[in-house]
């Protein structure tokens, strides 16, 4: 027994150290560190993985590496491996596109996505009200005035996450609750099918027996009159018997188009809470969390860089982390600032934002030209000083896009025509003077590539 035990541990130890020597650190951290050897069955090492995604990813990206690593010792010829999925593991959350593939393993029969809970929902001023309302509903479904609860806001801001979190939390409180959670499309489809198959009674029973009915993205009920009718009745039956209803939608219910007014006015009887785009600090927090969930360690300035550039929604932030991870794994490259910049550039379609200040530009030009910063922004008309000043003005306009007036104010209270003149002068000089042209180019590059 003891011997058997040490065998599989030893086999993994040898393989693991071989992998460490041959693969980048993040790949080890992301894909191999979480593996747990559990048994050696003949030549086959059984490895426990956190989820199905690991099996697929390792098989498609690291199979060769892993087999080579397992066949290190001469007496270990023909060693192979097999994965078993540890269903209790909560270490790694699979990425969204794989979540879809492994739906069945991640979801219970209610269709509640277990990955979406309150613990991994990051709170900020953009969503704290929505979160506390959702939490309260999950603890007392149907029992307070938050009925129906409507969570509304733009895409990728956490509405679906909160809805499933309500389901998960409510189940913890009371495992016997009948929780029905569907998208509005699913509701529509179920209804249409029930008509087709003469099974409207079953449909009605299924939806009207819910203790909590949650419908995602009800804006897609738009224009579907008969479905709306059906939903209206379901809603009323549930509401009257004190059952909880939760819905998400893209707009404030009062502003929704294409839904019957009687439906909208019913919705107004409960509570509508919004989720807003995350501010900078929340974006940083989310990136840190998502990086950790995916087993990658990113320098803080890289995180900040992403947070500054990917600003619209949380799905995008998450997608960026996944893309970085995928790219580094596919290209077998370390995650460094080049790789991150490349990914961020792709995802922003080349429109990188900078948060450079005029001070940064002046400092950079000063280092390059050996002219003191205070001279650059001062009054002197000496030729080298004037040129450094003109270069700085040019870069301020080009990189930051600030107004001629504001540039003038900063550079010793000059007026906008002086600034315009300076910019023209540099533009003309660059055409004839490759040296200056190169200097400007490299300054621009260094200033806009702070990572």
Cβ nearer to Mg ion, comparing 93 with 159: 159
Residue window 26-65: x/- pattern of binding to ligand ADP, with contact defined by CB under 6 A: ----------------------------------------
| Start-to-end Cα distance in the chain | 53
Alpha-carbon 440 to chain mean position:
36
Closest by Cα among 326, 373, 363, 329 to 346 = 326
- C-alpha dist (Å) from residue 68 to 24, 40, 63, 80: 16, 17, 9, 9
Q: Which residue of 47, 58, 157, 287 would you call a contact of ligand ADP, by CB under 6 A?
A: 157
Count of CB atoms situated within 10 Å of the CB of 232: 15
The one among 99, 115, 127, 160 contacting Mg ion by CB under 5 A? 160
Residue 127 touching ligand ADP (CB under 6 A): yes
The item of ligand ADP, Mg ion, none sharing an interface with residue 389, based on CB under 5 to 8 Å by kind, is none
Residue with smaller CB distance to ligand ADP, 125 or 332: 125
Q: How far apart are CA 326 and CA 95, in angstroms?
A: 10
Q: Is 158 in the site for ligand ADP (CB under 6 A)?
A: yes
Residue 160 within binding range of ligand ADP, rule CB under 6 A? yes
Residues in the interface with Mg ion (CB under 5 A) total 2
DSSP conformation letters of 240-264: HTT-EEEEEESS-GGG-SSS-HHHH
Cβ nearer to ligand ADP, comparing 34 with 158 = 158
Subset of 173-232 contacting ligand ADP (CB under 6 A) = none
- Cβ 240 to ligand ADP, closest distance in Å? 28
How many CA atoms are closer than 13 Å to the CA of 94, on its beta-carbon side?
A: 24
Among ligand ADP, Mg ion, none, what binds residue 122 when CB lies within 5 to 8 Å by partner kind? ligand ADP
What whole-number distance in Å separates Cα of residue 38 and Cα of residue 208? 47
Work out the angle between the directed axes of helices 358-369 and 383-395 (0-180°, nearest 10). Answer: 140
Between 137 and 314, CB nearer to ligand ADP: 314
Instruction: Pick the piece of the chain touching Mg ion (CB under 5 A) from 95-103, 154-162, 223-231, 290-298.
Output: 154-162
219: DSSP letter: G
Distance CA 227, CA 208 (A): 15
In the bound complex, which residue of the shown chain has the CB atom lying closest to ligand ADP? Answer: 158
Are 234 and 207 contacting, i.e. CB atoms less than 8 angstroms apart?
yes
The piece of 26-34, 158-166, 347-355, 407-415 that touches ligand ADP (CB under 6 A) is 158-166
Count, in order, helices (H) and strands (E) of the chain: 22, 8
Candidate ranges 9-17, 195-203, 235-243, 311-319; the one touching ligand ADP (CB under 6 A):
311-319
- Give the residue, chosen from 26, 65, 161, 239, that forms a contact with ligand ADP under the rule CB under 6 A: 161
From 149-157, 403-411, 421-429, 437-445, span contacting ligand ADP (CB under 6 A): 149-157
Contacts of 297 (CB under 8 A, 6+ apart): 26, 29, 291
d(CA 273, CA 252): 8
Which one of 137, 180, 286, 361 is in contact with ligand ADP (CB under 6 A)? Answer: 286
Least distance in angstroms from the C-beta of 215 to Mg ion: 11
CB 286 → Mg ion: shortest distance, Å? 16
314 binding ligand ADP? (CB under 6 A): yes
Partner interacting with residue 161 (select from ligand ADP, Mg ion, none; CB below 5-8 Å by kind)? ligand ADP
Q: Distance between CA atoms of 441 and 438, rounded to whole angstroms?
A: 5
- Give residues in contact with ligand ADP (CB under 6 A): 96, 116, 120-122, 127, 155-161, 286, 314-315, 318
């Amino acid at each position: 027994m003891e011997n058997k035990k040490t065998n599989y541990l030893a086999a993994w130890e040898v393989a693991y150290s071989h992998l460490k020597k041959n693969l980048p650190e993040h790949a080890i951290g992301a894909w191999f560190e979480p593996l747990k050897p559990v048994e050696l069955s003949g030549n086959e090492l059984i490895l426990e993985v956190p989820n199905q995604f690991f099996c697929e990813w390792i098989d498609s990206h690291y199979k060769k590496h892993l087999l080579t690593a397992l066949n290190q010792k001469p007496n270990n010829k023909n060693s192979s491996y097999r994965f078993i999925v540890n269903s209790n593991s909560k270490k790694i959350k699979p990425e969204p596109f794989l979540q879809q593939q492994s739906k069945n393993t991640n979801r219970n029969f209610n269709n509640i996505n277990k990955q979406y809970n309150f613990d991994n929902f990051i709170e900020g001023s953009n969503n704290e009200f929505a979160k506390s309302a959702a939490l309260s509903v999950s603890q007392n479904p149907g029992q307070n005035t938050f009925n129906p609860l409507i969570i509304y806001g733009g895409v990728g801001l956490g509405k679906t996450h909160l809805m499933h979190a309500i389901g998960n939390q409510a189940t913890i409180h009371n495992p016997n609750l009948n929780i029905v959670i569907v998208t509005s499309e699913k509701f529509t489809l179920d209804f249409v099918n029930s008509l087709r198959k003469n099974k409207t009674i079953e449909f009605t029973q299924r939806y009207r027996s819910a203790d909590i009915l949650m419908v995602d993205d009800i804006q897609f009920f738009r224009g579907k009159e008969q479905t709306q009718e059906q939903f209206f009745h379901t809603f009323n039956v549930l509401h009257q018997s004190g059952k909880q209803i939760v819905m998400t939608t893209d707009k404030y219910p009062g502003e929704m188009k294409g839904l019957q007014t009687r439906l909208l006015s019913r919705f107004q009887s409960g509570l509508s809470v919004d989720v807003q785009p995350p501010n900078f600090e929340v974006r940083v927090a989310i990136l840190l969390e998502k990086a950790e969930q995916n087993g990658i360690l990113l320098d803080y300035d890289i995180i900040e860089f992403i947070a500054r550039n990917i600003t619209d929604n949380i799905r995008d932030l998450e997608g960026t982390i996944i893309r970085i991870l995928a790219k580094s794994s596919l290209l077998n490259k370390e995650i460094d600032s080049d790789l991150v910049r490349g990914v961020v550039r792709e995802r922003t379609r080349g429109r990188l934002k900078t948060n450079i200040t005029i001070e940064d530009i002046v400092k950079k030009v000063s280092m390059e030209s050996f002219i003191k910063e205070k001279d650059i922004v001062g009054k002197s008309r000496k030729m080298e000083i004037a040129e450094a000043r003109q270069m700085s003005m040019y870069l301020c306009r080009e990189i930051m896009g600030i107004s001629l007036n504001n540039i003038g104010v900063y550079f010793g209270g000059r007026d906008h025509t002086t600034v315009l003149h300076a910019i023209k002068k540099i533009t003309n000089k660059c055409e004839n003077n490759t040296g200056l042209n190169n200097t400007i180019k490299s300054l621009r590059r260094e200033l806009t590539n702070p990572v």
